[in-house]
Amino acid sequence: MYDEVTIKEIVDKQREYFKTGVTLDIDFREKQLKKLKKAMADYENEIIDALKQDLGRSDVEAFFCDIGTVILEINETLRGLKKWAKPEKLYSGLVCFPSLITKVYKMPYGVALIISPYNFPFLLTFGVLVAAIAGGNTAVIKTSSKAVNSTNVIKKIVADIYEPEYVTIIDGGHDIANICLAQRFDKIFYTGSPKIGKHVLRCAAENLTPVTLELGGENGNWCIIRKDSDIKDAARKIAFFKLLNSGQVCININQVAVASAIADEFVKCLKNEFDRQIGNAVNNEDYPKLITKAAYDSCAKKAKEYQDRIVYGGFGSEANLKYAPTIIYPVDINENIVKHELFNPLLPIVVYEDEKVDELLKVIADREHGLALYVFTKDISWANKVMSTQQFGGGCINEVCLQLMVKGAPFNGTGHSGMGAYHGKWGFDEFTHPQTVLQGYNKFNLPLREHPYSGKIGKIKMKLLKLFER
């Protein structure tokens, strides 16, 4: 069992280890990343079993979302690390003459705290760890107390490949997380809800620790379907996404806004797609479950509030914690269910008039920024304008969720959906700070910056400064 003394000792040992300078070596970092990549393959069966026990995941979904994605992240980092970590050489400028060379070093922060969630326990633990290792940090990882089996496998993997003074796993509930947050870390990375994100920021402020927050978003993620869209294609993709991890996905569609002219037809297509892709979800072994009884009860309670408008689903099995994908239609844009993140398989459908889409966008923009935005339309010009003017983390045009998979692109939120970014070089940058160093020169130094600043000499200096600083 962890307590304040034990956790402080862990942090202190990691700080001493970091001070040895071992983690600064790029070859060392690459070696640690390769260890993790090998472990993902060696422990594949145990990871799949753990995800099945915790979340009811199928083998395919487990590999697609948690195993393969981590391996791809490691591969991208290994390919780019030497280039990313190389100091940047800059021309200092005439005002700095004769010191013409400046370098910007990419320095690790030091001891990092990573707090990971339950919904993708391996991806959102090891995916962040990859960035921390690449940046040259040590890491204390607080895993989710809800994904017990996954946490046990994560602990086993880390103990197998890393020394505790380099990477350590700490499990437990919110009390343990608070003890961790009370320590002086050099960097904190939290994935979870906006409510806890605020708490993390408050704790970090005590030590002025830089923080990255990846949050689900206060008001959830919108999907907008214009009347000119390919309805069947949209329904197929949205059904897949809503079934993924039973809706427990931070970038998942929280609510759909569909043009009135096609609303009935879209709902019909969506029902058909749920039937085609999953059938009787509650009794389907491939359909994931909700993480806890509390999560199941919350989902069932919310569905009951809208039972008069449930047109598909609306039932579950308390025994196996599976709740069917549920379409709630129609829902007004100002109702409670579309004003907060659901994180379950409920899907409210808001109807709007296509010619008033700008009013819809204004309502969305006036609420807290989502982590994702999805639009379906044949009008790509309009879609590009929306994507370049609305504020959100990331999104897709005529597609769902795949923005997460693009190599070289950041994953991040804004406002209530987070701050900071990671994946690939963005993750490396998130776990390093740029350190500017000018290389001085002891010959041909000009007295331009020195006193006197008055008289004839001062006037000459002013002319030169105006010449140089243009």
Secondary structure of residue 7 in the 3-state scheme: helix
One-letter amino acid of 87: P
Catalytic residue among 73, 214, 341, 368: 214
Q: What is the distance between the alpha carbons of residues 402 and 400, in angstroms, rounded to a whole number?
A: 6
Backbone angles phi, psi at 185, to 5 degrees: -100, 165
Backbone angles phi, psi at 359, to 5 degrees: -70, -40
Secondary structure of residue 278 in the 3-state scheme: coil
The two tokens of residue 375 are 């639009």
Radius of gyration of the chain, Cα coordinates, nearest whole angstrom: 26
Axis crossing angle, helix 263-277 with helix 231-243, rounded to the nearest 10: 50
Catalytic residue among 65, 223, 250, 299: 250
Q: What is the distance between the alpha carbons of residues 387 and 372, in angstroms, rounded to a whole number?
A: 10
Q: In what order do the strands lie in the sheet with 211-215?
A: 167-170, 138-142, 111-115, 187-192, 211-215, 418-419
Residue 214 annotated in active site: yes
Neighbour count for residue 184 (Cβ, 10 Å): 15
Residue 9 annotated in active site: no
Contacts of 20 (CB under 8 A, 6+ apart): none
Q: By the 8 A CB rule, do 190 and 117 touch?
A: no
One-letter amino acid of 116: S
- Closest Cα partner for 327 from 382, 259, 255, 393? 255
Q: Among all residues, which ones are annotated catalytic?
A: 214, 250
